Structure 1
Amino acid sequence: MTVALMWEARAVAGKGDELLAWATRQPLDPAPLRRETFRAPEDRVLVITWWDGAYDTPDLPELPEPGEDLARRAVHRWRFEAVKDEN
């Protein structure tokens, strides 16, 4: 099974590019099966990582909090498990 971890942060005003750069530099050990980084209006950054495991797999590496100098609020985190597509 595959589990996806989503990490979303909103940058302090004017620091969207810095937050994006910070997020892309953060290492994960071990490396995920896949990792994608997105940006959105209002200086939002989203990172999705895919891992081999179940929804409740403990100790999957996650990106840390970027700190108050970059993020205007606590990071939002979600965990999802892949389901078989019926189509």
Structure 2
Amino acid sequence: MSEAAMWEAKAAEGRGAELLAWAREQALPVLAAAADRVELFSAPGERVLLISWWPEEVAPLAPPQPPAELLSRPVHRWAFHSELVVEAG
């Protein structure tokens, strides 16, 4: 199985596009260089989410911290252990 690490940031008012660009240019490459898979999401409320998948034996890396002026609150992080995978088909 694998481990998933979620990283979620809420942008300061009106800074969602900048936070998303920062995540794409700064955080995503750091994770993509080491993780098995990384996905970048945006959501209503100017939120940005990164989910990265790691081999069970590797400790997930945390992406760099965004500039404080882009954030409305501290970044949230969660780690998950995969229990079951069901493939569509």
Aligned-pair CA distance for 1:85:
4.6
**Paired residues, what number?**
83
Are 1:48 and 2:51 counterparts? Answer: yes
Percent of residue pairs bearing the same amino acid type: 46
Q: After the TM superposition, which segments of 4 or more aligned residues of structure 1 sit over 4 Å from their partners?
A: none
- Tell me how far apart the structure 2 counterparts of residues 39 and 9 of structure 1 sit (CA, whole Å): 10
Tell me, in whole angstroms, the C-alpha distance in 1 between the residues paired with 2:84 and 2:40. Answer: 24
Unaligned runs of 5+ in 2: none
For 1:19, the equivalent position in structure 2 comes to 19
Aligned letter for 1:28? V
* Structure 1, 77-86 or 18-27: larger mean CA deviation: 77-86
Question: Normalising to structure 1: TM-score of the pair?
Answer: 0.84
- Give, in angstroms, the shift of residue 67 of structure 1: 2.3
Cα pair 1:65 1:74 within 8 Å, conserved: no
Q: Distance in 2 between matches of 1:4 and 1:21?
A: 22
Q: Which has the higher helix share?
A: 2
Q: How does 1:1-87 map to 2 (within 5 A)?
A: 1-26=1-26, 27-28=29-30, 30-53=33-56, 58=59, 60-85=60-85
Structure 1: gaps (5+ residues): none
TM-score (norm 2): 0.82
Indicate the RMSD between aligned Cα atoms, in angstroms.
1.8
